[in-house]
Amino acid sequence: MFDVIIIGAGIVGCFIAKDLSRYDLKVLVLEKGNDVAIGATMANSAIIHSGHDPLDGTLKAKLNLEGNKMYESICKELNCSFNRIGAYVLATSDEEVEQLNLLFKRAQSRDIPCVLHNKDEIKKHEPHVSDEVVLGLWLPSTGIIYPWEVAIACMEQAILHGVELKLNQEVIDIKKEDIYQVITSNNQYQTKCIVNCAGVYADEIYKMIDPSINFSITARKGEYFVLDHLQQPLVHHVIYPVPSSKGKGVLIVPTTHGNTLLGPTSFEIDDKSAINNTHAGLNYVKDQVGKLIDHIPFDKVIRTFAGNRPTGTTHDFIIEEAKLFSDFYNVAAIESPGLASAPAISKMVVSMYVNKHNPEEKKEYVINANHDPKLNELTIEEKNEFVKKNPQYGRMICRCEKITEGEIVDAIHRLCGATTIKGVKKRVRPGMGRCQGGFCEPLVLDILARELHKTEEEILLDDLGSNLLVERTKHDDEES
Ligand SMILES: Cc1cc2nc3c(=O)[nH]c(=O)nc-3n(C[C@H](O)[C@H](O)[C@H](O)COP(=O)(O)OP(=O)(O)OC[C@H]3O[C@@H](n4cnc5c(N)ncnc54)[C@H](O)[C@@H]3O)c2cc1C
């Protein structure tokens, strides 16, 4: 019997797992995928927004502001990337200037650092800004993170402090007796409390016990281009257009690893699992980004991707204990700024639980962050020290991102370790570069097979069924 079952291991479920692990509780995380951070947390703009955009009085506004203030120290503690690079919201017409002034006042009323810059001032900081731009709102508290690094780091702390993570466990039914029975595709668990963090499927999870559910969630797709590392950065800060009723618009975003994201679109779709790119979506991105920034090098695009926002009918986050079902907490409709708000969402949910149940806090609780070496950030002398101790740190696997065999082996054997090629890519980046895995993917596959004691045919690219190799075409006796 568990005290708490968390359904969904996106950034929200991972933060809640970490924060609950401070207490003497038996906590289980059930995730339908074969890794953590596979939903919206996998595919987004990675921005820790300042909190200027959400409407007054919403949970989005409150938790975004709070989350933005929490991230820097959390990332330091977890040894994760966090860069407070600042952002511009750029207006290109009189109408947009009017809206920008309203945004400016809203930001001021929330004590968010903000300044209006004219075109000349903006050009000093962002030389590629289009001549169409007339005014910019400078928001220096905006940051960027590497989202799945944070989610994985949270889950590792949770596991370290006793939380159980079970992957490949799709929750298919929930029954309420004295306690909750949670039925997954291949098992059954009992718990006193459920925290529903199932992203775009959170409405379907709640519907399992309450068919009279008063909210629903649709998926709003966002498509992106990724640019390779450029010799001269295209932009130094996050670039937003003036927001519209559809959201924050199409952005230009530097990433923590020196790439640039162009996107996202914002279109509601019927199939919540569809994360394909479309011709129309990508063309829309091209049109929109060209209005703000000149000379975008589309010949440097190395990848496209898409993610789906869980958009709720209430247009705000839904964070509440269900009225009819005691100890069933919905943490639903966590669309943007869900990433920026995640630590504050977790704090809110955990406070609700702790205030009601008053669990014992663990006497000894130490954050023990992952400090595996990142060779490409070290001096040659430091690298040599690592290679002397372990020659695997001297074998380059990913030439684009400069990732060694030793780092991949570390990623596989971490607490919440990688079991697939995508899992390795998420943790230490082979395949994230210009060749997109063309050179390193077969080598990563071999390393996974060796370290996990599996055959090469069993190694997955990503989710179940994505085996890259089907069968041997030559056997040892034929080869000789
Ligand atoms: C295009 C796009 C851009 C965005 N940009 C930003 C941004 O720049 N800044 C920002 O703050 N926010 C942004 N967001 C929003 C942010 O990504 C989300 O708010 C956040 O990732 C939500 O996290 P989550 O944990 O709630 O959901 P998810 O990450 O979707 O996790 C839900 C998990 O539940 C699991 N699950 C679902 N059903 C079941 C089941 N039946 N059984 C077991 N497990 C289940 C899923 O597999 C998944 O792992 C963006 C989102 C998108 C899509």
Look at residue 196 and tell me if it is in a domain.
Answer: yes
Q: For strand 187-196 and strand 2-7, is the pairing parallel, antiparallel, or unpaired? A: parallel
* Residues annotated as part of the active site: 49
In 3D space, the residue among 190, 288, 213, 239 whose CA is nearest the CA of residue 88 turns out to be 239
Q: What separation, in Å, do the N-terminal and C-terminal C-alpha atoms of the chain show?
A: 56
How far is the centre of ligand 1, averaged over its atoms, from the C-alpha of 9 (Å)? Answer: 9
pLDDT at 480: 52
> If you count DSSP H runs as helices and E runs as strands, how many of each does the chain have, helices first?
13, 22
pLDDT at 453: 98
Examine the domain organization and report whether 98 and 191 are in the same domain: no
Q: Of 269, 285, 306, which one is at a domain's C-terminal end?
A: 306
* Atom number, ligand 1, closest to the C-alpha of residue 198: 34
Task: Give the pLDDT mean for 306-310.
Answer: 97
Residues with CB under 6 A from ligand 1: 7-13, 30-33, 38-41, 43-47, 49, 170-171, 197-199, 201, 205, 222, 264, 307-309, 334-340
Examine the domain organization and report whether 239 and 384 are in the same domain: no
pLDDT at 475: 73
Examine the domain organization and report whether 234 and 126 are in the same domain: yes
pLDDT at 170: 98
Q: Which residue has the tokens 């919440």?
A: 416
pLDDT for residue 146 is more than 60? yes
Among 31, 65, 265, the mutation site with the greatest number of ligand 1 atoms within 8 A of its Cβ is: 31
Look at residue 70 and tell me if it is in a domain.
Answer: no
Task: Give the pLDDT mean for 61-65.
Answer: 98
pLDDT at 472: 82
The CATH number for 15's domain is: 3.50.50.60
Mean pLDDT of the chain: 96
CA distance 225 to 239: 15
Q: From residue 12, how far is each of 62, 164, 345, 456 by CA, in Å? A: 16, 16, 7, 34
Q: From residue 412, how far is each of 246, 416, 429 by CA, in Å? A: 40, 8, 13
Examine the domain organization and report whether 135 and 242 are in the same domain: yes
pLDDT in tens, 402-418: 999 999 999 999 999 99
pLDDT at 429: 96
Look at residue 60 and tell me if it is in a domain.
Answer: no
Run of H or E including 153: helix 147-160
In 3D space, the residue among 435, 361, 420, 402 whose CA is nearest the CA of residue 24 turns out to be 361
CA distance 217 to 266: 15
Task: Give the pLDDT mean for 132-144.
Answer: 97
* Token pair listed for 146: 């590497």
Confidence of residue 479 (pLDDT cuts 50, 70, 90): low
Examine the domain organization and report whether 165 and 271 are in the same domain: no
3-state helix, strand, coil in the chain (%, to 5): 35, 25, 40
How far is the centre of ligand 1, averaged over its atoms, from the C-alpha of 381 (Å)? Answer: 41
Run of H or E including 397: strand 396-398
Total number of domains constituting the chain: 3
How far is the centre of ligand 1, averaged over its atoms, from the C-alpha of 342 (Å)? Answer: 10
Q: For strand 82-83 and strand 143-145, is the pairing parallel, antiparallel, or unpaired? A: antiparallel
* Atom number, ligand 1, closest to the C-alpha of residue 13: 25
456, 467 contact by CB (below 8 A): no
Look at residue 209 and tell me if it is in a domain.
Answer: yes
Q: What is the residue range of 22's domain? A: 2-41+147-216+314-357
Task: Give the pLDDT mean for 361-375.
Answer: 93
* Residue 213 identity (one-letter amino acid): I
340, 64 contact by CB (below 8 A): yes
* Atom number, ligand 1, closest to the C-alpha of residue 307: 53
Look at residue 53 and tell me if it is in a domain.
Answer: no
Examine the domain organization and report whether 154 and 225 are in the same domain: no
Examine the domain organization and report whether 159 and 136 are in the same domain: no
pLDDT for residue 211 is more than 80? yes
pLDDT for residue 167 is more than 70? yes
The CATH number for 102's domain is: 3.30.9.10
Among 29, 218, 339, the mutation site with the greatest number of ligand 1 atoms within 8 A of its Cβ is: 339
Examine the domain organization and report whether 246 and 284 are in the same domain: yes
pLDDT in tens, 28-42: 999 999 999 999 999
Look at residue 78 and tell me if it is in a domain.
Answer: no
In 3D space, the residue among 216, 387, 367, 231 whose CA is nearest the CA of residue 297 turns out to be 231
Examine the domain organization and report whether 30 and 128 are in the same domain: no
Length of the chain measured in residues: 480
Q: For strand 301-312 and strand 143-145, is the pairing parallel, antiparallel, or unpaired? A: unpaired
Examine the domain organization and report whether 129 and 151 are in the same domain: no
How far is the centre of ligand 1, averaged over its atoms, from the C-alpha of 360 (Å)? Answer: 30
pLDDT for residue 478 is more than 70? no
How far is the centre of ligand 1, averaged over its atoms, from the C-alpha of 39 (Å)? Answer: 5
Look at residue 62 and tell me if it is in a domain.
Answer: no
CA distance 305 to 222: 8
Look at residue 286 and tell me if it is in a domain.
Answer: yes
Q: Which residue has the tokens 């953590």?
A: 36
In 3D space, the residue among 12, 20, 74 whose CA is nearest the CA of residue 352 turns out to be 20
How far is the centre of ligand 1, averaged over its atoms, from the C-alpha of 280 (Å)? Answer: 24
One DSSP character per residue, 319-373 reads EEE-SSSTTEEEEE---TTHHHHHHHHHHHHHHHHHHHH-PPBPS----------
Strand, coil or helix: what is 452?
helix
CA distance 426 to 349: 27
Q: Vertex 10, ends 339 and 181: CA angle to 5°?
A: 135
Among 44, 63, 278, the mutation site with the greatest number of ligand 1 atoms within 8 A of its Cβ is: 44
Examine the domain organization and report whether 118 and 261 are in the same domain: yes
Confidence of residue 476 (pLDDT cuts 50, 70, 90): low
Write phi, then psi, for 472 (nearest 5 degrees).
-75, 135
- The answer to which of 211-215, 440-444, 446-450 has the lowest mean pLDDT is 211-215
Examine the domain organization and report whether 171 and 262 are in the same domain: no
Q: What percent of the chain has pLDDT over 90?
A: 95
One DSSP character per residue, 48-88 reads E--S-SSPTT-HHHHHHHHHHHHHHHHHHHHT--EE---EE
Q: Which residue lies with its CA nearest to atom 38 of ligand 1?
A: 198
Task: Give the pLDDT mean for 317-341.
Answer: 97
251, 240 contact by CB (below 8 A): yes
